[in-house]
A and B are shown apart, each in its own frame.
Chain A
Amino acid sequence: MNEFVFFINNVVISGLTIGSIYALGAVGITLIFSILRFAHFAHADLMTLGAFFAFFLTAMFPAVGPALGLPTAFVMLPLAMALTALAAVYIDKGFYKPLRRHGVKPIVIVMASLGVTLMLQGLIRMFMGTSSRNMYIDDRKGIHRIELPFDLANRPIVLTDPQIIIIVLLVIIVIALHLFLTRTRLGKAMRAMSDNPDLARVSGINTDTVVKVTWIIAGSLAAIAGTMLSLDVSLKPDLSFHLLLPIFAAAIVGGVGHPYGALAGGFVIGFAETLSVFNWAVLLRPWRDFLWFDLPPTLAFVPTEYKITVPFFILLAILVWRPTGLFKGKVL
């Protein structure tokens, strides 16, 4: 049974955590894709920026978290979300809107977003240095060990605070996003604009407001994802480079322009990554006498250093077999 607990710890829990983070990033990408029709390459840097804001606020008020019994960075999350959303709105105003006004091809805006990526990366590293940081300043990461009641397993299931928080948060966000998109005027306007921007404009929808709201949602979700990821691991300035490919793969796997698809895509990519670097030899060891081959000490599909290939090959596979994504995306 210990092997099974190991599987739960290394695959189920970490897959859920990383899947939720990818899902939050992918929802933002897919919303921008469907409203503004371009691939926003600077999204992973918005995540880093959000985490950076959270870290900054934590360093300013380190005692808030311990007083409430929660990680300080999590308590500061609403503020960090607001700051990131503001930054996203102003980045759009400064760099993408003038290009849209010019009526350039979407691919030129994609290039501009790569320029924004570099600017954000440069700024973050200038202010924060290039080393990684611990998000916990006055408090420590809460780790919960759940002992299993039966005797077969003597290893506990390990859960950390940020892992619990991100999974709970994701459920809340999904419900809120669903209600927003289906019940409110703005949400309906967003869906209308993603279906047909010209028709939306002539029927009196204020497209500028819709664009702004899109950036606010995308920016806040990016801040949540970035903060929770750096709470779970650590805050690295080059976080974005490891996130960019998985979140794009998640958005495309789910079908671009499809928020629920992006959620599913995030979990597909997250679980694919954890399953492929998982050492299957551990699970097979109890049955080693029945196997027809010698069990090697490590039997992982992909060595950890090649983890980045997993989202890439999933992306290629989906582009070959089903370019619209699992849930028929709108924009192709």
Chain B
Amino acid sequence: MLMKLPMKETLMMVALAVAVLILMQVMGTAYGVRVLVEASCYAIIALGLTIQWGYAGLFNAGIMGFVAIGGFSAMLLTFPVNQRFWDSELSGELGIAFLKLIAAIALVFAVMQLHRIKVPRSIRLPIILIVMATLYLWVVNGFAPVTQGIVSEFGFIGGLGLPVWAGWLVGGILAGTVAYFIGHICLGLRSDYLAIATLGVAEIIKAFLKNSDWLTRGTLTVSPLPWPVPGASEVGFVMARALYLSVTAVLIAIIFYLLHRAYNGPWGRMMRAIRDNELSSSAMGKDVNQRRLEVFVLGCILMGIGGAALATFNGIFDPNGYLPLNHTFLIWVMVILGGPGNNLGTIFGAVFVYVIWVMSEPVALFILNAISYLGDMWFAWEAPSDFSSRALQARVFSIGLIITLVLRYAPKGLFPEKVQHHH
């Protein structure tokens, strides 16, 4: 048995390599490398999920939001500076608006401390609510004219012109910060609540990025984002993408090594203990909620970094391009199919699922064209005009079917989690 497992895994890896080579042969090397780079970015995101779900059993249904934060941060920090905006008066006014925001937050915190000076509860709650509503309107009306001015005069505030790695790092930090607040509220409660809250926060992050035209240009999208390696115009498509792939591969290697160490170390043992039996590990004196918060934030940091790498590679920040299907559920399939809790399996799952996902679009269109052609020929049946957009919905259905089937028939995935026992 012990000899058989590596055999199976090696075979699957070889099969995957062959599939990628075929893809490159059929669609061209440049396209093949592009798919690989995107798959590697997804692999970083999937590693973030595998530590949340595989190590700790936390259900994050809003990966899209953290990926979008990463992309936003890559855009904001690395895009060239908009000097006209910073030289104008509006930058000062924007600063004043932010000062108002900080003052308002401070005031709300001060009002929340009213119980210290023995203000009775019945008066406290109305005071807090009224103060919050008033300050909220004050801040919003402080921002509105400034942001409108920015949009009408400069389009948006531009980036900060920092190096790419800074954008990726801050993407991770921002995603981790959001995760900290969500996790802090939800992790002590039923596990379902985290799923609902993350689902909601992802939609809100998307709504914010889509509608804050002054910050992100909204639906107009921002491009081109600078690359950490020479671009296609300097060294050609294949070479540029291969260089980018080497950057993400090094990143994955570092993350993989660190996670591997953590998983096999005391920390990983403790996380698995909490996942498998919450009650007994809390009886052993482990602070379950604190540990879960730790792993949740860590996973979201990886998602932010992966999202930043993905946006930088695509060279465009498009808030509308973030879809729950592509950026949440696809990653779920990668992790549960590859093997939750098994880092190698997760990376395998990411590349495998992404290659299939990319190929499924032309295949689905081909099958449906054949159906509509044959239907027309044999039964004089006319396909509806939006047939191709409907055809792509077959992918939504298949993703859902795969999730339910894998959960039922192969809950451990293709690469089951291997726990090392020390005798």
Chain A residues near B (Cβ < 8 Å): 38-39, 41, 95, 98-99, 102, 104-108, 110-112, 114-123, 125-126, 129-131, 241, 244-245, 248, 252, 296, 299, 301, 303, 305-306, 308-309, 311-312, 315-316, 319-320, 323, 331-332
With an 8 A cutoff between CB atoms, is B102 at the interface?
no
A300 nearest CB across to chain B (Å): 9
A117 touches which one: B185, B191, B400, B402 (CB < 8 A)?
Answer: B400
With an 8 A cutoff between CB atoms, is B407 at the interface?
yes
Q: Are B403 and A112 in contact (CB under 8 A)?
A: yes
Tally of contacts, chain A with chain B, CB under 8 A: 149
Q: Are B407 and A118 in contact (CB under 8 A)?
A: no
A312 nearest CB across to chain B (Å): 4
Within 8 A of A (CB), among B384-408: 384, 386, 389-391, 393-404, 407-408
A120 to B396, CA, bound (A): 9
A308 touches which one: B207, B325, B395, B403 (CB < 8 A)?
Answer: B207
Q: Are A315 and B190 in contact (CB under 8 A)?
A: no
A263 to B277, CA, bound (A): 36
A252 to B193, CA, bound (A): 9
| Residues of chain B lying within 8 A (CB to CB) of residue A332 | 189-190
| Residues of chain B lying within 8 A (CB to CB) of residue A241 | 203, 324
A125/B404 contact (C-beta < 8 A), A39-B196, A105-B57 known: no
A112/B199 contact (C-beta < 8 A), A126-B397, A299-B137, A301-B136 known: no
Q: Are A305 and B404 in contact (CB under 8 A)?
A: no
| Residues of chain A lying within 8 A (CB to CB) of residue B411 | 104, 108
A110/B195 contact (C-beta < 8 A), A308-B207, A312-B200 known: yes
Residue of B nearest to A244 (CB): B199
A269 nearest CB across to chain B (Å): 12
Residue of B nearest to A296 (CB): B141
Question: Majority SS of interface residues in chain B?
Answer: helix
B400 touches which one: A106, A116, A316 (CB < 8 A)?
Answer: A116
A331 to B192, CA, bound (A): 11
A316/B207 contact (C-beta < 8 A), A99-B408, A108-B407 known: no
Q: Are A245 and B199 in contact (CB under 8 A)?
A: yes
Q: Are B197 and A119 in contact (CB under 8 A)?
A: no
Q: Are B395 and A122 in contact (CB under 8 A)?
A: yes
A114/B197 contact (C-beta < 8 A), A129-B386, A308-B203, A332-B190 known: no
Q: Are A115 and B141 in contact (CB under 8 A)?
A: no
A106 touches which one: B189, B191, B384 (CB < 8 A)?
Answer: B191
With an 8 A cutoff between CB atoms, is B133 at the interface?
yes
A107 to B332, CA, bound (A): 14
A130/B61 contact (C-beta < 8 A), A301-B137, A315-B200 known: no
A332 to B384, CA, bound (A): 48
A288 nearest CB across to chain B (Å): 16
Q: Are A112 and B404 in contact (CB under 8 A)?
A: yes
Q: Are A99 and B59 in contact (CB under 8 A)?
A: no
* Cross-chain pairs A/B with CB under 8 angstroms, 22 sampled: A41-B61, A106-B191, A107-B57, A108-B411, A111-B336, A112-B404, A112-B408, A114-B329, A115-B403, A115-B404, A116-B404, A122-B394, A122-B395, A122-B398, A126-B390, A130-B386, A241-B203, A241-B324, A245-B196, A312-B200, A312-B203, A316-B197
A193 to B7, CA, bound (A): 48
With an 8 A cutoff between CB atoms, is B74 at the interface?
no
| Residues of chain A lying within 8 A (CB to CB) of residue B398 | 122
With an 8 A cutoff between CB atoms, is B201 at the interface?
yes
With an 8 A cutoff between CB atoms, is B186 at the interface?
yes
Q: Are A110 and B59 in contact (CB under 8 A)?
A: yes
Q: Are B196 and A118 in contact (CB under 8 A)?
A: no
A309/B141 contact (C-beta < 8 A), A111-B407, A117-B400, A316-B197 known: no
B402 nearest CB across to chain A (Å): 8
A130 touches which one: B390, B397, B399 (CB < 8 A)?
Answer: B390
A95 to B193, CA, bound (A): 21
Q: Are B133 and A301 in contact (CB under 8 A)?
A: yes
| Residues of chain A lying within 8 A (CB to CB) of residue B400 | 114-122
With an 8 A cutoff between CB atoms, is B211 at the interface?
yes
With an 8 A cutoff between CB atoms, is B204 at the interface?
yes
| Residues of chain B lying within 8 A (CB to CB) of residue A119 | 396-397, 400-401, 404
| Residues of chain A lying within 8 A (CB to CB) of residue B324 | 241
A98 to B404, CA, bound (A): 11
| Residues of chain B lying within 8 A (CB to CB) of residue A111 | 59, 332, 336, 403, 407
